[in-house]
């Protein structure tokens, strides 16, 4: 996964995508949406889509994809590599949003909250797939905020597509699990190679994925509090504290 654009400038956003399989232009496809990084102290928020023909969904399930939070980093890397090998019927795309972009959006004179940013990013990726020629028939989304409200919003954006938004969709639908893996692999790589704008002395780089063992941050990403988060959690380094 080539994140060199983000590594050159980690203050904005960047989009990555795989080639669109020819079969995904011809046959009706199912598409999953998920994210990684809504509640951490470090690194970007990454939204991902993954899609495949409905006729090949069983092949995607056979890869044993699962909610990325239940997998080790090596297992996620292995599954992502397998999806890359199967690019004749599996495609993906990412939108990587920097801490700077998120903070600027939330702290601007015209407020743009995290839920709205998340909803718009997800809708933008679905629209991107359509622009790329993917024949999207069904969309499954892991919820941010109230699933009913989110589903209604997406259904209005895409009236000709069957949209389902559910809590824990990444554990219920393999195509969302696959999107979850894509998002987490990208985020892990971004955090691992993060370039801090501050000149930090004797920096201990063993800070993992950016999720500290602190109750408020864990709470913001917990199933009991979907869609909640604090702008102070989004930091590219010390200068970005809310």
Residue 35 marked ligand-binding: yes
Give the pairing type, strands 162-166 and 136-142.
parallel
CA–centroid distance for 215 within its chain: 23
Token code pair at residue 72: 């080790």
CA distances 36 to 47, 80, 102, 122, Å, are 7, 15, 14, 12
Q: Contact 237/231 with Cβ under 8 angstroms?
A: no
Residue 67 marked ligand-binding: no
Residue 188 marked ligand-binding: no
Residue 232: strand, helix, or coil: helix
29/16 Cα distance (integer angstroms): 20
Nearest to 50 by CA among 167, 181, 171: 181
Q: How many CB atoms are located within 10 Å of the residue 201 CB?
A: 5
Q: Cβ-count burial of 207 within 10 angstroms (0-12 exposed, 13-18 middle, 19+ buried)?
A: middle
211/80 Cα distance (integer angstroms): 22
Residue 181: strand, helix, or coil: helix
89/42 Cα distance (integer angstroms): 34
Annotated binding site: 34-35, 142
Annotated binding site for a divalent metal cation: 34-35, 142
């Amino acid at each position: 996964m080539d994140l060199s654009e983000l590594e050159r400038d980690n203050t904005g956003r960047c989009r990555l995508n795989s080639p669109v399989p020819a079969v995904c232009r011809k046959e009706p496809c199912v598409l999953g949406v998920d994210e990684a990084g809504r509640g951490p102290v470090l690194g970007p928020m990454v939204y991902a889509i993954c899609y495949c023909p409905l006729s090949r969904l069983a092949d995607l399930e056979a890869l044993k994809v699962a909610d990325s939070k239940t997998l080790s980093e090596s297992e996620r890397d292995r599954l992502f590599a397998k999806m890359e090998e199967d690019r004749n019927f599996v495609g993906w795309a990412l939108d990587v949003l920097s801490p700077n972009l998120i903070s600027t959006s939330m702290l601007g004179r015209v407020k743009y909250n995290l839920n709205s940013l998340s909803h718009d990013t997800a809708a933008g990726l679905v629209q991107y797939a359509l622009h790329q020629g993917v024949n999207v028939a069904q969309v499954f989304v892991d919820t941010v905020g109230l699933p009913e409200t989110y589903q209604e919003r997406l259904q209005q954006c895409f009236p000709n597509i069957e949209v389902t938004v559910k809590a824990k969709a990444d554990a219920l639908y393999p195509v969302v699990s696959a999107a979850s893996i894509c998002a987490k692999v990208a985020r892990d790589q971004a955090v691992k190679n993060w370039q801090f704008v501050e000149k930090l002395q004797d920096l201990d780089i063993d800070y993992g994925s950016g999720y500290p063992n602190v109750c408020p941050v864990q709470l913001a990403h917990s199933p009991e509090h979907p869609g909640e988060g604090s702008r102070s959690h989004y930091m590219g380094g010390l200068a970005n504290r809310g």
